[in-house]
Structure 1
Amino acid sequence: MQRQAIALFPTCLLAADDKTVVMLAGDVMLGRGIDQIQRHSVDPRIYEDYVHSAVDYVRLAEQKSGPIPRRVAPEYVWGDALSILRSLAPSVRIVNLETAVTASGTPWPGKGIQYRMHPANVDVLTAARIDCAVISNNHVLDWGREVLPDALSALHRAGVKTAGAGSNLEEASAPAIFDLKEGRILVFAMAHESAGVPSSWAASPARSGVNLLRDLSGNDVIANIKRYRKPGDRVVVSIHWGGNWGYDISPEQERFAKTLIDSGLVDIIHGHSSHHPKRIEVYRGHLILYGAGDLINDYEGIGGYAEFRSELSLIYLPALSKSGAIESMLLVPMRMQRFRLNRASADEREWLLRLLQRESRGLRFATTSEGLILARPD
């Protein structure tokens, strides 16, 4: 695949009356170290095997990258991403919010990692105008089932819609719905045990929790979508699945994603859990992100898995036709440093470009003169 330079302003490639631009991001982990640098923060005590204060994650990052400010403005962690998103103006902004949202609670028994952010720090999401927080993941109940209402209340009060967890299975499996001038977008969210989600976190008709899939057949998901989808709707299925490291896609994951696309009811598969970007695929005209990668986390000072370069991330901006097919997509390469998103350097962008070219299917990639990556279906 030959690299090209595209000398067009990116919004010209995305913005049109017959297109809808969606922002998708992977894990936004605003708890633990990220929480500790905000204006509000929870008690830093955590009960992990090797770390007993969330502040230690800040110190580890500072040892690697230099001083990190404290009591930062809500915009701080988004850094350079804010001006880019302001320019590209997606219609809906969707992230996987991977943390409990509470100032109280008790660590889940046997859970070795505990993420928690102060409810007042929901303004970090509103600073980036996030519309939808997917909360079906393996950290939303780190501090107990009883504090899930804290998360739902804080997010909804701030105008952030949620999907993937709720007071019962009906609520956890219901979509977040966005009424746009181009039609509705429905976001269904779910998780799978392969991402480390305890089976005991599953919501039931009488119990709060996560929309946890029993299997990856897709049958339950399709049946649920049929209850809500109307003609002309575009549907995003956001799923937390798979391990944190590695590029392999299991046959079950691939079959699940393609079964949903084949149903004619789903337009985008938004997969997450991996700490780095994985394969992107266009299948029958529709977008599959098998692993979007982390966008914001506090891993900066933690060693290991250097070959995956998890400090580098992507923001995905697909442009959808009225039918839900992908017409083009801009990818924004970012680098996390000092707990802030910075524009990736030319070398870092080239590394991500080579990764995408190696792993992806059904797309061709080119760089733009603004330092973004443009993807078009083959």
Structure 2
Amino acid sequence: MAVAASLTACSTADSAAPERERLAGEAPSKAAPSTPERRPYTISFGGDVHFEGMLRPRLNNPRTALGPIAGVLRKADLAMVNLETAITTGGTPAPGKQFTFRAPSSALTALKAAGVDVVSMANNHGMDYMETGLADSLAAARKARFPVVGIGKDEAQAYKPYRKIVNGNRVSIIGATQVLDAEFIQAWTAAPGKGGLASAKNEARLIKEVRQARKNSDTVIVHLHWGTELQKCPNEAQLSLAPKLVRAGADVVVGGHAHILLGAGYLDNAYISYGMGNFVFYNSNPATTGRTGVLTLTINGRKVLKDSWTPATIQGGLPVPMTGAARTQAVADWKALRSCAGLSARR
């Protein structure tokens, strides 16, 4: 992965330099401060990840847990997935919930080893083990020094962007979920003084964060959990929210939840991916939920210069990149998905 300096570190260093000069009794330098030259960078996205069922034993060797897809993720300057599980070995399963996912902290080690730089936990499984699971997840992320968006000890932390400077580009990534079980909306949504998830149902709060990020970022990315399970085209909520986020200043909006791939392409000057599908996931059908891949965008500032799709099939819970004629056909199939999404192949 390319080395990327943190915005916080850069801003602290820049502001501290003149102060050091004054303390030393020297006149401030008249030379203009140097700024890194901005060059295009790549960011790769994978879909939904958990480590349940057949995948759990892979955490016995987290360095190789994600298998061959790690080679694709490591090539990008940044890589991101949706972590659809609580990081805990304790807590109480959410009452009445049919599927509850959790994984030990070695899941973060596995993701980091595979080249993943940041995850979103804003999804309908992020608090499957309720408040204890939330506290454990946050503690595990802190201990591992692994960036997580869309979840926090309070509203401010949950909506707070992950920030990195990549090839001179100030990148901000915000995570939120548009999908929450009705009975958990109140309990799971972060609020002032209350831990939880960043909710895209609170559109005003999410849009406020996007506008704020726009002020001091070159690229603003919103990662969403959204869509309708197994529905091949974006639902009304997705089609309504995407343009609002673009108008607020988002350059890229990427997400998933439907367990299948949905269309991706340009909406005005922004890039939208409505559905990344399953990625590292125990349940897959070769014809539908087992179709997956890595979306790689080449970006310079606000411009998405190129999109590239690396198709894969889920085998034994892991995404395995496709080759030959099957790969060519899978790329064509992926491009065809945008026909019902109202997106364009080019800016």
Regarding TM over 0.5, the answer is yes
Instruction: Return the alpha-carbon distance in structure 2 between the equivalents of residues 351 and 179 of structure 1.
Output: 36
Contact 2:163 2:173 in 1 (8 A): yes
Q: Following the alignment from structure 2 to structure 1, what is the Cα–Cα distance between the partners of residues 181 and 55?
A: 22
1:147-191 residue CA offsets vs partner (Å, 9 max, x unmatched)? 212112222322321110111111111111112242211111111
What's the offset of the Cα at 1:96?
A: 0.6
Distance in 1, Cα, partners of 2:194 & 2:211: 23
Aligned runs of 1:17-28 on 2, under 5 Å? Answer: 18-28=39-49
- 1:212 is matched with 199
Partner of 1:245: 230
Verify the 8 A CA contact 2:264 2:335 in the aligned structure 1: no
Partners of 1:28 and 1:38 lie apart in 2 by 13
Structure 1 residues 126 and 307: CA distance shift in structure 2, 3 A: closer
Q: Is the 8 A contact 2:178 2:224 kept in 1?
A: yes
| CA displacement, residues 128-149 of structure 1 (integer Å, 9 cap, x when unaligned) | 1211110001111111222212
- 1:170 and 2:156 aligned: yes
Structure with higher helix content: 2
CA shift, 1:350, in A, is 4.0
Output the CA distance in 2 between the equivalents of 1:91 and 1:306.
30
Q: Determine if the alignment matches structure 1 residue 102 to structure 2 residue 125.
A: no
1:368 maps to which residue? Answer: none
Separation in 2 of the partners of 1:17 and 1:312?
35
Conservation of the 8 A alpha-carbon contact between 2:279 and 2:318: no
Q: Which of 153, 157, 161 is the aligned partner of 2:143?
A: 157
Q: How far is 1:232 from its partner? A: 4.3
CA deviations on 1:94-141 (whole Å, 9 max, x unpaired) are 111000111111111111101110113321111112111100011111
CA distance in 1, matches of 2:115, 2:182: 29
Secondary structure of 1:129's counterpart equals coil
Deviation at 1:17, TM superposition (A): 6.1
Task: Supply the AA of the counterpart residue of 2:230.
Answer: W
Aligned partner of 1:316 in structure 2 is 295
State the shift of 1:355 in Å.
Answer: 2.4
TM-score between both structures, scaled by the size of structure 1: 0.75
Residues 257-309 of structure 1: per-residue CA shift (max 9 Å, x gap):
1121123x111001211212101120112210011111110114xxxx6642x
Greater relative contact order (Cα < 8 A, sep 6+): 1
Q: Secondary structure at the match of 2:62?
A: coil
Task: Flag structure 2 segments of 5+ consecutive residues without an equivalent.
Answer: 1-36
Q: How does 1:111-126 map to 2 (within 5 A)?
A: 111-126=97-112
Separation (CA, whole Å) in 1 of partners of 2:73 and 2:199:
31
Task: Give the unaligned 5+ runs of structure 1.
Answer: 1-15, 40-72, 365-376
Change in Cα spacing, 1:154 to 1:249, as seen in structure 2 (3 Å) is: same
Equivalences for residues 345-360 of structure 1 within 5 A: 345-360=323-338
Of 274, 278, 286, which residue of structure 1 is paired with 2:258? Answer: 274
Q: Is the 8 A contact 2:271 2:304 kept in 1?
A: yes
Summarize the Cα distance change of 1:195–1:290 in structure 2 as closer, same or farther, 3 Å threshold: farther
- 2:49/2:279 contact within 8 Å kept: yes
* Residue 198 to residue 32, structure 1, CA distance change in 2 (3 Å): farther
Q: Is 1:203 the counterpart of 2:187 in the alignment?
A: no
When the two structures are aligned, how many residues end up with a matched partner? 307
- RMSD between aligned residues: 2.3
Other structure's SS at 1:193 match = coil
Distance in 2, matches of 1:154 and 1:337, equals 29
Query: Relative to 1, partners in 2 of residues 1:353 and 1:76: Cα closer, same or farther, differing over 3 Å?
Result: same
Contact 1:167–1:207 at 8 Å: present in 2 too?
yes
The residue type equivalent to 1:91 in the other structure is: D
Instruction: Write the letter of the residue equivalent to 2:320.
Output: N
Percent identical residues = 21
